[in-house]
């Protein structure tokens, strides 16, 4: 039914998930069957371990909304920008990990809470400084739910410090954390 309606859309099954990748706007939706528990969490099948896993998306959504409201939506916009950079630079990192890192960044300092989009260069500089100072971890605790979010690849190589980042006024791309080759990086690329 989906393929008949969206003929130019990449629709495929990946384990228990139906993935819908819209080519016109780069949005991707993943749909997975889940069963709600009495506490508001959801169980979903995992074909990797042939077990059931639990997720708490409402708590994560609530924490995301609270942070977005507190930061004049800067955290939401910055997380979207980070996803764009991740996709453009081949970074191996899930969306929940990006949300968690952005949430942690905005929780450590408030100077970017009400900054305008013209200050996103400074914000990115400070975000990468924050990431550089983070210890290598196998996982983070997700915003809101405090469930483990796995870091897919860990490398001991530290990202280079983005020097003179704040003085550049041109558009930029930033490579987040890890490339597909597994190296950690915060290299800046100017068009």
Secondary structure (DSSP) of the chain: -HHHH-TTSEEEEETTEEEEE-TTT--EEEE---EE-TTS-EEEEETTTTEEEEE-HHHHHHHHHHHHHHTTTHHHHHHHHHHHHHHHHTB---HHHHHHHHHHHHHH--TTTT--GGGHHHHHHHHHHHHHHSPP-SEEEPTTT--EEE-S---SPPPPP-TTTTT--S--EE--SBBTTS-B---EE--
Q: What is the pTM of this model?
A: 0.70
pLDDT at 188: 38
CA geometry: angle at 166 spanning 109 and 175, to 5°? Answer: 85
Look at residues 40, 55, 17, 36 and name the one whose alpha carbon lies nearest to residue 142: 55
Look at residues 165, 164, 163, 157 and name the one whose alpha carbon lies nearest to residue 183: 157
C-beta neighbour count of 9 within 10 angstroms: 14
pLDDT at 3: 77
pLDDT at 120: 83
- From first to last of its 191 residues, the chain has per-residue pLDDT tens of 777 887 878 888 877 788 888 777 667 788 888 999 999 999 988 877 788 989 999 999 999 999 999 998 999 999 998 888 888 888 888 889 999 999 999 998 788 888 877 788 888 889 889 988 999 899 999 999 999 999 986 444 444 444 343 444 333 333 334 444 444 444 433 33
């Amino acid at each position: 039914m989906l393929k008949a309606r969206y003929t130019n859309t990449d629709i495929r099954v990946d384990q228990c998930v139906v993935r819908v990748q819209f080519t016109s706007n780069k949005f991707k939706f993943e749909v997975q069957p889940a069963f709600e528990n009495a506490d508001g969490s959801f169980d979903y099948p995992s074909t990797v371990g042939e077990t059931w896993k639990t997720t708490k998306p409402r708590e994560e959504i609530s924490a995301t909304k609270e942070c977005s409201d507190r930061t004049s939506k800067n955290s939401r916009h910055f997380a979207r920008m980070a996803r764009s950079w991740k996709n453009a630079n081949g970074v191996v990192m899930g969306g929940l990990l990006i949300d968690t890192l952005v949430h942690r960044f905005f929780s450590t300092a408030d100077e970017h809470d009400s900054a305008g989009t013209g200050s996103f260069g400074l914000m990115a500089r400070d975000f990468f400084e924050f990431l550089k100072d983070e210890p290598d971890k196998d996982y983070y605790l997700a915003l809101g739910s405090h469930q483990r979010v796995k870091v897919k690849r860990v490398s001991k190589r530290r990202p280079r410090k983005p020097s003179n980042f704040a003085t550049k006024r041109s558009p930029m791309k930033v490579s987040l954390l890890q490339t597909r080759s597994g190296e950690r990086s915060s290299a800046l690329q100017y068009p």
